[in-house]
Structure 1
Amino acid sequence: MLDPQKPSKMDLEAEQSGGGAAALSSRERPATTLSRYQTLLFAITCAMAVANVYFAQPLLESMAASLAVAPGVIGIVVTATQAGYAVGLLFIVPLGDLLNRKRLILTQMLMSAVALCAVGLSQNWLTLLGAMVLVGLMAVVVQVVVAYAAALASPEQRGLAVGTVTSGVVLGILLARFVSGAVADLAGWRGVYFVSAALMVGMALVLHRTMPASATPPAKGSYWQLLRSVFQLYLTERTLRVRGTFALLIFAAFSVLWTSMVLPLSAPPLSLSHTQIGLFGLAGVAGALAAAKAGQLADRGLGNRTTGVALALLTLSWLPTAYVESSLLAMVIGVVLLDFAVQAVHVTNQSLIFAARPDAQSRLVGAYMSFYSVGSGLGAIAATYTYAHYGWASVCLLGAAISGVALLYWSYLNLTSR
């Protein structure tokens, strides 16, 4: 456990290169290392599961017409899904430290399929909202899988494993809108959820045959004691607080871009179609994949330097983004840089917090992702308000300011650690 009273712990590189590995006793080391094939399956699982949260965004108009819901109200569908996800982070993800992780993952995936079918079969507004809450609630299987991958990996490969699996999460987020729009054009909005349900069942069968048997979870005691320990982590684990602050800021910046970019792209003089706008997600994929190796740098004790470089790129990414109306290429460069930087910091964050407490990985990821939820929500609200009142240039200034604050915070940590 980290000692929050010792300033020397501020040096996150030392924290990663020495303390994390030392904290993993021989009793806690995984009996089975994580193969590349298993890591790939985990990444695909995460991409499929997290995509369920974002499928609805390009389908809202079709949903409203199908269920006779006012266009100004249908956006609650997205809110309901995110609310379910937030609840799951706090109340389901920590179960990975108490229950058999393999069974927990498979159960969540099958229940996700049921929830997705409920969405596709919904014939009224309230049924749809309830089903979307369940979709979000079960989608937190993503974080259980990430924690399980970290637990199965050896200390030397943990950063790489977390980076690869987290890349699947980012790919799922970025590609979900494009895929749902394409499937909806062929089979309607309900078809999107039926197809996803079938894929979740199929992947559950694959994982049932290939996923290593889960070791006995390290946590003991009741479920309520487990939940209390999640909140205690915020007080006792300094790495969680520091890395959680980074997560809040980088995902606020991420949300500022991806929430508001559709507005200038769809408005004159650009007037791009939804399909064309969705293609910008492919540019984001390139940046996310490029940052997948950030976990390896953390394994080598370079997590702190990786964070600093990535935050500098994040701040600079807003400069080309500001020229969207005069150059789409500049916008693409900005998107690639931003997604690269966010992914690099995110992977490094998780590698460091997992190394800090190998016995509490599920609880740590649930606590950490709560920072992500807060940052994403605040960024979305701030972006839409800023664009409506001050325009795109001010949105870019907002994103650069948030990114700059993260960079200044990193600089402050390094100065005080010395």
Structure 2
Amino acid sequence: MTTITQSQSPTTDTTDTTDTAPPLTRPSGGGLLLAVIALCTAVTAANIYLAAPLLGLIARDFGASPSGAGWIASIAQLGYAAGLLLFAPLGDTADRRRLVGVLSAVAGVALVAAGLAPGLPALAAAVLVACAATVVPQLLVPLVAERAPADRRARHVSTVVAGLFTGIVAARVLGGLAAQAFGWRAVFFGAAGLTVAVGLLTAVMLPAETRPRTAANPFKAIAGMPGLFASSAGLRAACMRQAGLFGAWSALWTTLTLLLTDADGPYGLSLGAAGLFGLFGLVSTVAGPVTGAFVDRFGAPRLVTAAYALTALSVPLFLLGGHALWALCTGAVLIHAGLMAGQVANQTRALAATDKPAVANTTYVVAAFIGGATASALAGPAHDHWGWPGVCAIAAAWVVAGWLGGLLVARKGQE
């Protein structure tokens, strides 16, 4: 755990955020600007999960089976992953004001195309483009971290991360309710309007940058990611730890609907009622600012330990929740609090670990995404073969692997 401690020292923080990045014309941590950035993060992040609650209506409209339309949600994740690799690293070299504006406009046009799609292939193509362009949050997080005062960096980062989780919750809960009232196409049209409006507002409000810019070359940035990952033990530890936390959350949260809606199971809820269970995700929004303050005061290592403790405690509660609703609800609260604590602490650590925060942030998010996607992919078959206990076993394995892997990387780094 000493890896994080040293990189959180005042000397390292000052070097990473001040010496290697020329100052902006006005601080990025201003209250109004920070609020707008958080709002932009929420609106754009919602686009990644927008299709998930609409799949039933989409399948019925196009005359497809629910499983036949289910791959649209996977296309959204694929598009986001592609956008992370292509666009997020450009935050170190390109004009972020222009990049945020262009990506917001492209995402808006693609969402309109999704709302007009005549069939599943056209819808999939539009969703792919929209989600590839919706990586704006990963351009804004490094900006906030770079320009925030060292003693308040985690609090500022946590505000933006809380916006991201709020967007995820809104997409799953409000998107489904809006689709029931107005149809799934209206949801895409509404998301397009919000994305363009908030994205362009954010681009206008972002402070002008005085740093020297180089020609934007995403492939050069991608090629540099393995070397950056290999050279920074702190970045590797942050990636490993968050992959474990996000994997545990993904395994449980993506398959929870199967438990809640199983007609032969203990709950037998409707899809609408099961969707409202996503409101527990608001715990992440509430925990964000508190977590950021704790990271600034006590340091990232203690918060990472607390995050793993909360997540580890949630797993047996989820197992018990296979038959007890109170345990399921308690586990949901704990795992969201743990995920948020780990996200803020690990992302703050990753951003301070190198002098290339945008590339480091991309590496970090991709690693967490891989951990979550792999756990989700295994959770479905585990549920088919061993039921809900099999899903909980996958989550437990990710908690153990993430903690031990991060500890081993930190010790090898000799920091």
Same fold (TM over 0.5): yes
Q: Indicate yes or no: 2:274 matched with 1:282.
A: no
Amino acid across the alignment from 2:7: E
**Aligned counterpart, 2:268:** 271
Match of 1:391 among 387, 392, 395: 387
**Aligned counterpart, 1:16:** 8
Q: Deviations over 1:344-383 (max 9, x none)?
A: 11111111121222x4121111111111221121111111
Q: Deviations over 1:235-265 (max 9, x none)?
A: 2222111111112111110111111111111
Q: Indicate yes or no: 2:26 matched with 1:30.
A: no
Match of 1:197 among 188, 192, 209: 192
After TM superposition, the structure 1 stretch with the greater mean CA deviation from structure 2, 139-148 or 289-298, is: 289-298
* Structure-2-length-normalised TM-score: 0.92
Indicate conservation of the 8 Å contact 1:56/1:78, yes or no: yes
Which secondary structure does the structure 2 equivalent of 1:261 belong to?
helix
Would the alpha carbon gap of residues 29 and 300 (structure 1) be closer, same or farther in structure 2, given more than 3 Å must change? Answer: farther
How many pairs were matched up? Answer: 409
Cα distance in 1 for residues equivalent to 2:18 and 2:396: 42
Cα distance in 1 for residues equivalent to 2:219 and 2:266: 56
Would the alpha carbon gap of residues 276 and 159 (structure 1) be closer, same or farther in structure 2, given more than 3 Å must change? Answer: same
Q: Indicate yes or no: 2:395 matched with 1:402.
A: no
Indicate conservation of the 8 Å contact 2:237/2:406, yes or no: no
Match of 2:93 among 82, 94, 98: 98
**Aligned counterpart, 2:344:** 347
Q: Indicate yes or no: 2:355 matched with 1:363.
A: no
Cα distance in 2 for residues equivalent to 1:205 and 1:354: 25
Q: Deviations over 1:114-167 (max 9, x none)?
A: 010000000022211110110110111121121222223232222111111011
Q: Indicate yes or no: 2:331 matched with 1:334.
A: yes
Q: Deviations over 1:191-227 (max 9, x none)?
A: 0000111111221343244332234356678554333
Would the alpha carbon gap of residues 295 and 154 (structure 1) be closer, same or farther in structure 2, given more than 3 Å must change? Answer: same
Q: Which runs of 5+ in 2 are unaligned?
A: none
Which secondary structure does the structure 2 equivalent of 1:317 belong to?
helix
Match of 1:175 among 164, 170, 194: 170
Q: Which runs of 5+ in 1 are unaligned?
A: 1-8
**Aligned counterpart, 2:201:** 206
**Aligned counterpart, 1:144:** 139
Please, what is the CA RMSD of the aligned residues?
2.2
Would the alpha carbon gap of residues 129 and 302 (structure 1) be closer, same or farther in structure 2, given more than 3 Å must change? Answer: same
Superposition deviation, residue 410 in structure 1: 4.9
Cα distance in 1 for residues equivalent to 2:216 and 2:58: 44
Amino acid across the alignment from 1:140: V
Superposition deviation, residue 49 in structure 1: 0.7
**Aligned counterpart, 1:323:** 320
Q: Indicate yes or no: 2:223 matched with 1:228.
A: yes
Indicate conservation of the 8 Å contact 2:83/2:133, yes or no: yes
Which secondary structure does the structure 2 equivalent of 1:72 belong to?
helix
Match of 2:309 among 309, 312, 320: 312
Percentage of pairs with the same residue: 29
**Aligned counterpart, 1:82:** 77
**Aligned counterpart, 1:296:** 293
* Structure-1-length-normalised TM-score: 0.91
Cα distance in 2 for residues equivalent to 1:374 and 1:115: 25
Superposition deviation, residue 189 in structure 1: 0.4
Would the alpha carbon gap of residues 414 and 239 (structure 1) be closer, same or farther in structure 2, given more than 3 Å must change? Answer: closer
Cα distance in 2 for residues equivalent to 1:414 and 1:231: 18
Q: Indicate yes or no: 2:45 matched with 1:53.
A: no
Indicate conservation of the 8 Å contact 2:100/2:200, yes or no: no
**Aligned counterpart, 2:376:** 380
